[in-house]
Amino acid sequence: MFSVESLERAELCESLLTWIQTFNVDAPCQTVEDLTNGVVMAQVLQKIDPAYFDENWLNRIKTEVGDNWRLKISNLKKILKGILDYNHEILGQQINDFTLPDVNLIGEHSDAAELGRMLQLILGCAVNCEQKQEYIQAIMMMEESVQHVVMTAIQELMSKESPVSAGNDAYVDLDRQLKKTTEELNEALSAKEEIAQRCHELDMQVAALQEEKSSLLAENQVLMERLNQSDSIEDPNSPAGRRHLQLQTQLEQLQEETFRLEAAKDDYRIRCEELEKEISELRQQNDELTTLADEAQSLKDEIDVLRHSSDKVSKLEGQVESYKKKLEDLGDLRRQVKLLEEKNTMYMQNTVSLEEELRKANAARSQLETYKRQEDPKWEFPRKNLVLGKTLGEGEFGKVVKATAFHLKGRAGYTTVAVKMLKENASPSELRDLLSEFNVLKQVNHPHVIKLYGACSQDGPLLLIVEYAKYGSLRGFLRESRKVGPGYLGSGGSRNSSSLDHPDERALTMGDLISFAWQISQGMQYLAEMKLVHRDLAARNILVAEGRKMKISDFGLSRDVYEEDSYVKRSQGRIPVKWMAIESLFDHIYTTQSDVWSFGVLLWEIVTLGGNPYPGIPPERLFNLLKTGHRMERPDNCSEEMYRLMLQCWKQEPDKRPVFADISKDLEKMMVKRRDYLDLAASTPSDSLIYDDGLSEEETPLVDCNNAPLPRALPSTWIENKLYGMSDPNWPGESPVPLTRADGTNTGFPRYPNDSVYANWMLSPSAAKLMDTFDS
């Protein structure tokens, strides 16, 4: 067996470098240094087996390494690992007792001996791959010296190779036969080399003999000339004759030797042809055996894959059984996870709400400290001059009480007022709302907006002092009016004589209801001009003062005393769902036009005498109903023009709703021409619209706007004088005089019933009472 150790490693490296150049790769490969970066070897491996050493593997080899020996070593390690994996996975061989190349010496010092070992491994991959015949043929075409070194390297490498795993007996016999064939091939190659060497020696001898023959012929010619000049060569006794005989004898011997050598040469040539034929047959047998070996290896691999698949199927069946058992328990786990997610969501919402409350509390606390430090002399009222009375309204965090103020705004004596305050358990947001209401009330001043008298902000809790509304909320007032009973049954009907003595307790007419709506629209028009958005306009937040005067307010602290379906609880508190506009519900947008929507709901409350909006519909369903265009139907006793105004207020687009100035004009027109009365006995609202909140109103005597008692029976002349100042100017014998209000102020003469001055004058209780008396 040959050994590379008998050869110089440098010679091996040079020979394998020559063999590498036959691949014609793109990278330069003329010197040993060209191969140290690994690029040439990687490209050669890709040509040997493009399927295994694909582009992805080749891209891992860095081409631009320069003189960086660390990058060279990294490339060489990848190549060495790829060669070993290729031998193990593709060729099914394992190299034993073979010293692997030291990539550090190759990359750092360009060691030729270690590079030769690396190229020897690549040579092993080439002669064992699928295209090995092509590469063996290329080796046979190289120089004999290079062939000898390459074949020696192949034999050494094949002696170190062994199959990865022992197969069946047939595979072992096949491998043994393959090795035997390889040895015979090597012996034939050696015999061929010896015969070729012998032919070369014989050619050299023939050339030497031919040269010697030429020299002898030349010498013979010279001798012939000399013979001709001297003695005849035919004479054997002469020196020339003897010399001639010797040369002739020697020539014959040389000719015989030449003939013998030529015959031997022909024999060797025939022997060489026979050996070449035998080599061709051995190669064919080698190819057949290699094919059988590949088939056996593929069958063995297929058996291994099937065995592995069988084991995998068994494991998967066991896993399926375990998963079936786990799936039974998964339902409980999912329910637990769902409950935990819901709890987590609730906790997160609570955390966000608490953080928001804390932030607002800090802001409210700082604002309260500012109020405490900065006393406003204009609005500050001495706490000692305020005597608190009974509670008018109460909520979870605050309440409103009736109180008596001494020397309020420089007035002599005592004044009945209402005081808004917080409870001890009030949240910072409630304190912020109270402070916000305080700031708003300081800015407004209108007859139909609740009036602020002052505040107590020092040395105690914050108290807001506002004017006292005798009859409470408009909703309670409207519901209480149902208990009064029928007043006027219509034009020409009988009347209740007690209503003349107590005008605020008389039965409500449709004119009164329109008057209430008109007063509220006046106040909302003022707030709109002040760029203020109410956000909670409803009958519960409208107060009824002396003389049935409407006062817009917002008792937000006592909001919780009303029915639960009025608000939906959210992180920022309760919101009045049934009074809110669509854009406020879905987009949290609050504008004056959203107050117009709420005013339309307020009109519905007024016409139904305090009925609940959207009866029978829970707030949760109201969102989708409003979005699909659902609106409340026209109530009983509601005129078409009033219901038309409601629908205009409930337009989907805010810019298509009327403004409060236009609403006031429409209500003014309806107010001055309306003369029919509401027959409460004939048309009682349905039970779904009636709600008794249990609050009782104080009974008061019937007085006019100057608190003067009204008589039960009035003469017609007194009515005419009170209503027109004198008789109608068109009446014969009468002349017009300026019209005066009930409080004595001059208004001018109203020539037409729809005059706005006449409408303003009709707001007084005396005028309303006089009109009722005059019509009946």
- Half-sphere CA count of 62, side-chain side, radius 13 A: 14
Q: Is 536 a catalytic site residue?
A: yes
For tokens 């891209």, name the residue.
59
Instruction: Report the C-alpha gap between 635 and 642 in whole angstroms.
Output: 10
Instruction: Report the C-alpha gap between 324 and 307 in whole angstroms.
Output: 26
Q: Which of 61, 72, 78 is nearest to 37 (CA)?
A: 72
If phi over 0 gives left and psi between -120 and 50 gives alpha, with beta otherwise, what is residue 444?
A: beta
Beta strands in 69-148 (DSSP E): 93-95
Catalytic pick among 512, 536, 554, 772: 536
For tokens 């019937």, name the residue.
702
For tokens 């000898």, name the residue.
148
Q: Which two tokens stand for residue 436?
A: 């916000």
The DSSP code sequence of 604-648 is: HHHHTTSPPSSTT--HHHHHHHHHTT--PPPPTT--HHHHHHHHH
Instruction: Report the C-alpha gap between 253 and 160 in whole angstroms.
Output: 54
> Has 265 been labeled as part of a binding site?
no
Rg of the chain over CA atoms, in angstroms?
A: 61
Provide the residue count of the chain: 776
Buried b (16+ CB within 10 A) or exposed e, 543-554: bbbbbbbbbbbb
Q: Which of 543, 490, 517 is nearest to 680 (CA)?
A: 490
Q: Which two tokens stand for residue 111?
A: 């060691």
Q: Which residues contact 196 (CB under 8 A, 6 or more apart)?
A: 144, 272
For 32, 42, 114, 602, the CA distances from 109, given in Å and listed in that order, are: 11, 20, 10, 98
Burial class (CB in 10 A: 0-12, 13-18, 19+), 430: buried
Q: Residue positions in the annotated binding site for ATP?
A: 420
Give the active site residues: 536
